[in-house]
Amino acid sequence: MAGNEDDTHDHQHEHDENCDHEEGDDIVTLVDADGNEVDNYWLGQVELDDEQFALLCPVAEMDEEAEATNVYVYHYSEDEDGAESFEAVEDEELLARVQAAAEAMFAEGDEEEA
């Protein structure tokens, strides 16, 4: 799992207004520091210490033949109107804790599928 490559946080979220996020189904479009739109797959969400974290993978980096894929972690929140916010996680210790929680979540999901 990778950290954040830049302070990407402006976004458009392409899905039905009241849908729950489904792993890999939703596309989140973030705008990077250079103003480029980057489409990302929504891989999951982790709650840690009463904070929500989104796990995203750039669509351009997703390759079924690749052994590893970069996963970027963002603080995730919604305001009272449902507008979503993604902010880069810059604290390395927090990033490591979110990574451990995400790996446990994905391992649990793999066990349920087996």
58 within domain boundaries = yes
The per-residue pLDDT string of the chain (114 residues; one tens digit each, 9 = 90 and over) reads: 554 444 433 333 333 333 344 444 589 999 988 999 999 999 999 999 999 999 999 988 876 666 667 889 999 999 999 899 999 999 999 999 999 999 998 888 666 776
**Residue 64: per-residue pLDDT:** 65
1 within domain boundaries = no
The DSSP-derived string for 21-33 is: P-TTT-EEEEE-T
112 SS3 class: helix
**Residue 60: per-residue pLDDT:** 85
Six token digits for residue 79: 């305001």
- Split into its structural domains, the chain has a count of 1
Six token digits for residue 46: 């982790």
5 within domain boundaries = no
Cβ partners under 8 Å of residue 37, min gap 6: 29, 30, 31
**Residue 61: per-residue pLDDT:** 82
20 within domain boundaries = yes
The identity of residue 56, as a single letter, is L
**Residue 91: per-residue pLDDT:** 95
**Residue 36: per-residue pLDDT:** 93
CA distance 74 to 25: 18
Q: Which domain holds residue 36?
A: 10-113
106 within domain boundaries = yes
